[in-house]
Amino acid sequence: MEKVIHKDAAREMWKTTNGTYEKVRPSHDRAAVQYLLRQLGVLDNDLCNQSPPFTYAVLDVGAGTGKCTSVIKDILREDARIAALDPVAGMLEQLKAVVPGVDTFVSPCESIPLPDNSVKAVVSSQSFHFIANVTALREINRILVPGGKFGILFSVDDEASPLVHDVFEVMRKYKYPGCPEFFINTLQDTSWQKCFGEAPLFTPLQEHVMPWEKQDTLPDVESVVQLFMTFSATAREPEVREECAESMRRLLAANQTVKQNGGQLEVPRLSALYWCTKNTVDN
Ligand SMILES: C[S@@+](CC[C@H](N)C(=O)[O-])C[C@H]1O[C@@H](n2cnc3c(N)ncnc32)[C@H](O)[C@@H]1O
C-alpha cells in the first residue's frame, strides 16, 4: 500500500509541477557527485579496468529530468556508457533533450529492464525516498556486476537554518496524508534506510555529509515559494496548495533577513551521500 502511495506521489508531483520542476529545482553539487562516483569506483582510472565486464558504467535510477545524470556525464570519461531509468516518461523526455547520449528506460526500480550483472554502479539521486523497498533493492543487486556499488545522493536544504526550518514546518502542516517525514528531511528521518536491513543484499551503508561548494541565492520570495512547492510531500488539492504557498509567502515576507536583502534568500544546502557494495546472493 505504501509503495503505491509513493509511486503516485512521483506521478502526481510531475503533473502538478510539470512546467516548473526542471526550471526551479537546483542541480546537484558537482564536488559531491564526484565524491560519490569515486566511492563507487567509476572515475576515469577505475573505468579502464573492464573486469568483470559491464554494459553500463552507471545507471541513474529515478533519474527524472536528468539533473544528476548531466553532472555524472560531465564528470565521467567521454566513452563511459550511462543509462537513466524513471517510471515517468515525460521526465525522461526532458532528460533526453538535456543530456543526449544516455540510454533511457521508462520503468520503476522494482523492475529494471536490464540483464543480470550488467552495471558497474547504480546511482539514486533525490529519488531513494520514493524507491525505498526491498523489491527495488533486489533488482539493483541483480543488475550490478559482482563487487558493483550502489550510491545514494540527497541534496538537502539545511534545516539548521531557522528560515529553512520554518518553511519545512509549513510543508509538514500541508503534506499529503500518510506522507513520511523523510519526504521533507531525509537527514532528520532516516527510516528510508530500513529496507537495507530487510535482506542481506548490500554491505552496510557508508555515509558522508558535506555542504555545497557554491550555495544558491534565490532572487525573490516567489522563487523560494516556487522551489518548495515542487516538493512531492505537498498535498495535491489546488486549494490546499494555494493555502500552503500563501503561508510560505507570508512567512518569508515577514522575515527580517529576507527584508534586509531586498527579498533575496540564500538556501543553504548539504549533500548527504551513502554507498554500499553488492553482496552476492541467490535472487
Ligand atoms: C525528486 S525526483 C529526482 C530526479 C533526479 N534524480 C534529480 O536528481 O533531480 C524523484 C524521481 O524519482 C522517480 N521515482 C519515483 N518512484 C520511483 C520508482 N519506484 N523507481 C524509480 N524511480 C522512481 C520519480 O519519477 C522522479 O523522477
DSSP 209-234: EEE-SS-EEESSHHHHHHHHTT-TTB
* Segments of the chain scoring below 50 in pLDDT: 1-5, 283
CA distance 236 to 186: 21
What pLDDT, on the 0 to 100 scale, is given for residue 216?
85
What is the distance in A from the centroid of ligand 1 to the CA of 86?
6
Q: Which residues of 122-137 are buried (b: 16+ CB within 10 A; e: fewer)?
A: bbbbbbbbbbbbbebb
11 lines ligand 1 (CB under 6 A): no
Does the beta carbon of 131 lie inside 6 Å of ligand 1?
A: yes
Q: Which of 184, 229, 182, 47 is nearest to 121 (CA)?
A: 47
- Residue 168 CB partners (closer than 8 Å, separation 6+): 157, 159, 184, 185
Q: For cell 537513466, what's the residue?
A: 84
Strand partners, 22: none
Mutate to test the pocket of ligand 1, among 13, 127, 143 (most ligand atoms within 8 A of CB): 127
Is the CB of residue 141 less than 8 Å from the CB of residue 280?
Answer: no
* pLDDT of amino acid 266: 86
Burial class (CB in 10 A: 0-12, 13-18, 19+), 274: buried
The pLDDT tens digits for 99-115 are 999 999 999 999 999 99
Look at residue 45 in the predicted model and tell me its pLDDT. 77
> Which residue has its alpha carbon closest to ligand 1 atom 9?
67
Residues 121-175 pLDDT 10s: 999 999 999 999 999 999 999 999 999 999 999 999 999 999 999 999 999 999 9
The residues that bridge with 237 in the sheet, in sequence order, are none
pLDDT value, residue 13: 63
- Which grid cell sits at 78? 567521454
* 86 within ligand 1 shell (Cβ under 6 A): yes
Domain architecture of the chain: domains with CATH? 2-157+186-212+269-277 (3.40.50.150)
The closest alpha carbon to 175, from 5, 1, 4, belongs to 5
Taking the whole predicted model, whether its pTM rises above 0.85 is answered as yes
Task: Report the separation in Å between the CA atom of 273 and the middle of ligand 1, taken as the mean of its atom positions.
Answer: 16
Looking at residue 11, its pLDDT comes to 60
For residues 120 and 143, what is the distance between their CA atoms, to the nearest angstrom? Answer: 9
Q: Is the CB of 62 under 6 A from ligand 1?
A: yes
Q: How far is the CA of 69 from the centre of ligand 1 (A)?
A: 12
What is the C-alpha separation between 130 and 107, in angstroms, rounded? 13
